[in-house]
Structure 1
C-alpha cells in the first residue's frame, strides 16, 4: 500500500511534488512562476435546449418531463447517501497501521459552490535573503542538481517563525523543489498540519480525489495494489511515466504544495521533476518571443468525466481557464513555461 498526502496552498501557479523514494518527508512545490491571469472562462458548457415538438399534443410533452426530473432527483438523493471508505473496502483492517486516519473517503453528498477569486500574498517576495530564520544553527542545505532541487536537514518546519516561513517560500521559489527529512507534520493532528500550510495561501480542495474524512483540503494519492489496479492504469499507455501539474484548470492554481509520504514501496515509484524556468531559458530568442502573449486552455472537464465514469465524486462543477504560456514569478523575477499535458 502506498499513500501520499498532498495539501496545496492556492496562489496563482501550479507546483511540483517531492521524490517518492524518501519516506515520511515533506516537499514544497512551486515549479512555475506566479502571474495573475487575465483570460478566464469559468462557465461550464451548457447544452442547447431542444425545442418542443409542436406537432405533439401538450400532454405528451408534459408527461415526459416530470419523469425525467424524478429520475434526476433520485440520482441526486442516492449520491447524498453514498459514502465510499477505503477502510471498509479492506474489511476493516489495513496495512496503513501508523496513519489509518489518513485513508481516503469519497462522500458523494459533498458539493461545493463555484470557486471564488481571492487575494494571494506571496510571502517569499520580501523574505530575508540570508535565510537566517530558516537555516538555523545545525542545519544543512545541499543542492541536488545545479538548477533544481535541494535537501535540508536539521530543520523542523512546524516550529518555524513567520520570518522562517517567508524564507521557506523564497527558497522553494529559487530551488523549485526542497525536501525535508524527519518532519512531524504527519504526526500532528490533521487540523494543526493544515493550519501550518494555510500560512502560504488558501487551501485548495480537489473536486474528485479522496480525502481523510472531514478534511477535504487534503488530496490523497492512494494505491492498495489490488488486482488489476496497475493494469488498468497502463491500459492506454506503454509507460508508467506521466508528466503533469495539478489542477492548472483553476483560475488561481496551487502554487505551494506540501507532500508527505506516509508509506512507499521498497523500490520503484520514483518521482521526477521538470524545471520550467530552465526549460524557458534554453529556448532560442526567436521562440521565446513567439511564445510571449500566447495562452493555453486548461480544462477540468475530462477529469470530472473520468471520475463520474468510474463511480467517483465531483464535488464542484468542472471549469476551464486560459493561462499565459510564459509566466513570471514575483519573488524571483524568473520567467517560466506554463504548459500542462494533463490536469490531475
Structure 2
C-alpha cells in the first residue's frame, strides 16, 4: 500500500519538529541498534566475537552535520571501454544470474583495479545492475583504503541515522549482533521482511555505484534481493510509459529520522524532502528506470491523494512482483556486491533464526541529481 494511504502517528522529536511516522513501512532497515556494548558483543551468550571489531557500529548523539551541499558529479562510467579489458580479462569467470540482472565474477581483485578498471566497473554494473565479486580482499583493507577506493565513484554519503565505525561516519554499517533474538519480535507485527527501496532516495543527489562487503554472516539466510527498475519500465505499455514521463514524486527522510529518534538513535542532519522524476535516465546507458520506492516516496506532485496512491501502489507492486526481472544474491565469505542505485531497488531478508551475527559495511558514493530525458516512444 502506498505510504500516504495509511494512518500515521504524529510525534514531536527534539531538533526535528513534528514529523509523521508511517504505520506500515517501518521498521526501516537502515536504522541499526541504538546501543552497543563492545565487551558484551565479544562473547554474548557464548557466540563468537566479531571477526572485524574495528568495523562494529558506534553512535555519537552529539554528531551533527549541516545540510548537504550540491556538488558536480563526474560519472566515470562514461570513460569506460565497453569490452571491459581491465575489469574482465580472460582469466575471470563471469556467470550471469538472470538475462537482465545479476552477475557473479571470480578471478579479479577490486582493490587492485586501475582507474581504467574502475571506469569499466561503473559501466559494467550499470549494465548488469548488480554484480557479486567473490573471493575479495576488500574487508582486509584499512578503512582509509576502502574509502579512497569508493571515493573515486563520487562524494561519500554520510547516513543521517546509522551506526558507523568510530571516526569514519562515511561508512554505513549493517549489523545484527550475535545472540540478537529480535528476529522473532520483528515478525510479531510483520508477515514479511521484504522492504524494497533505493538507498536514501530522499537526498538531492542520491547514490550511484554502491558497494556492500561482508564480515560475518549466518550459516544460511540473510540474502539480498534486487530488482531491475529499468526492465520494469520496459515492461510497461508505451501509453503508460508516456503518462509517467513528466511526473515527479516527493522522497522524504522525515519518517526515517523520526523512527530513529523514537528509538533513542541518532539524527546527524535535519531531514529533507526532495522531488525527483518518476522516470529517471541513466547518464551512461541512457536507460530509463522507475524511480519510486515505498520506503521513501510519499506522493506524486500535482495529483490528488487518491490518484497518487493508486498510481504509486501499481508501481510498487509492479516492481515487487516482477520475479522475472529480479535477482537474489547469496552472501559468501569475501564477497563484495556492487550495484547501481539509480536503476535498481533492493531488500535485505531477515530470515535466519539462529541468532548468528550478520555484519556488513556499505560505501555509498553520491551521484548526479536524478534527471529525465524526453519520451520518444
TM-score normalised by L of structure 1:
0.73
Distance in 1, matches of 2:54 and 2:180, equals 24
The answer on 1:87 being equivalent to 2:38 is yes
Alignment of 1:10-29 (within 5 A): none
**Whose RCO is larger (CA < 8 A, sep 6+)?**
1
Match in the other structure for 1:313 = 266
Q: Residues 86 and 278 from structure 1, CA distance in 2 versus in 1: closer, same or farther, beyond 3 angstroms?
A: farther
Distance apart, 1:91 and its partner CA: 6.6
The answer on 1:152 being equivalent to 2:100 is no
Deviations along 1:140-165, one digit per CA (max 9) or x if unpaired, are 22211000011111100010110010
Distance in 1, matches of 2:280 and 2:123, equals 17
Q: Say which one has the larger Rg.
A: 1
Q: Secondary structure at the match of 1:90?
A: helix
Q: Residues 232 and 298 from structure 1, CA distance in 2 versus in 1: closer, same or farther, beyond 3 angstroms?
A: farther
Contact 1:112-1:315 within 8 A present in 2 as well = yes
Q: How many residues align?
A: 266
Q: Secondary structure at the match of 1:304?
A: helix
The answer on 1:216 being equivalent to 2:175 is no
**Which of 301, 315, 322 is equivalent to 2:275?**
322
Contact 1:124-1:169 within 8 A present in 2 as well = yes
Alignment of 1:1-344 (within 5 A): 84-90=35-41, 95-224=48-177, 226=179, 229-343=182-296
Contact 1:96-1:263 within 8 A present in 2 as well = no
Q: Residues 334 and 227 from structure 1, CA distance in 2 versus in 1: closer, same or farther, beyond 3 angstroms?
A: closer
Distance in 1, matches of 2:193 and 2:16, equals 32
Q: Secondary structure at the match of 1:273?
A: strand
Q: Secondary structure at the match of 1:220?
A: strand
Q: Secondary structure at the match of 1:308?
A: helix
Deviations along 1:108-149, one digit per CA (max 9) or x if unpaired, are 111111111111011111311111111124112221100001
Deviations along 1:3-53, one digit per CA (max 9) or x if unpaired, are xxxxxxxxxxxxxxxxxxxxxxxxxxxxxxxxxxxxxxxxx9877xxxxxx
Deviations along 1:310-344, one digit per CA (max 9) or x if unpaired, are 00000111001111000111110101100111139
Q: Which ranges in structure 2 are unaligned for 5 or more consecutive residues?
A: 1-14, 19-33, 297-346, 348-377
Contact 2:41-2:50 within 8 A present in 1 as well = no
The 10-residue stretch of structure 1 (264-273 or 143-152) with the greater mean CA deviation from structure 2: 264-273
Contact 2:16-2:271 within 8 A present in 1 as well = no
Deviations along 1:44-89, one digit per CA (max 9) or x if unpaired, are 9877xxxxxxxxxxxxxxxxxxxxxxxxxxxxxxxxxxx9544145
Q: Secondary structure at the match of 1:105?
A: coil
Q: Residues 147 and 91 from structure 1, CA distance in 2 versus in 1: closer, same or farther, beyond 3 angstroms?
A: closer
Q: Residues 92 and 265 from structure 1, CA distance in 2 versus in 1: closer, same or farther, beyond 3 angstroms?
A: closer
Distance in 1, matches of 2:113 and 2:41, equals 38
Distance apart, 1:225 and its partner CA: 5.2
Contact 2:80-2:120 within 8 A present in 1 as well = yes
Distance apart, 1:226 and its partner CA: 4.6
TM-score normalised by L of structure 2:
0.67
Q: Secondary structure at the match of 1:203?
A: coil
Distance in 2, matches of 1:175 and 1:169, equals 10
Q: Residues 46 and 314 from structure 1, CA distance in 2 versus in 1: closer, same or farther, beyond 3 angstroms?
A: closer
Distance apart, 1:281 and its partner CA: 0.2
Q: CA RMSD in A?
A: 2.1
Q: Residues 141 and 114 from structure 1, CA distance in 2 versus in 1: closer, same or farther, beyond 3 angstroms?
A: same
The 10-residue stretch of structure 1 (108-117 or 225-234) with the greater mean CA deviation from structure 2: 225-234
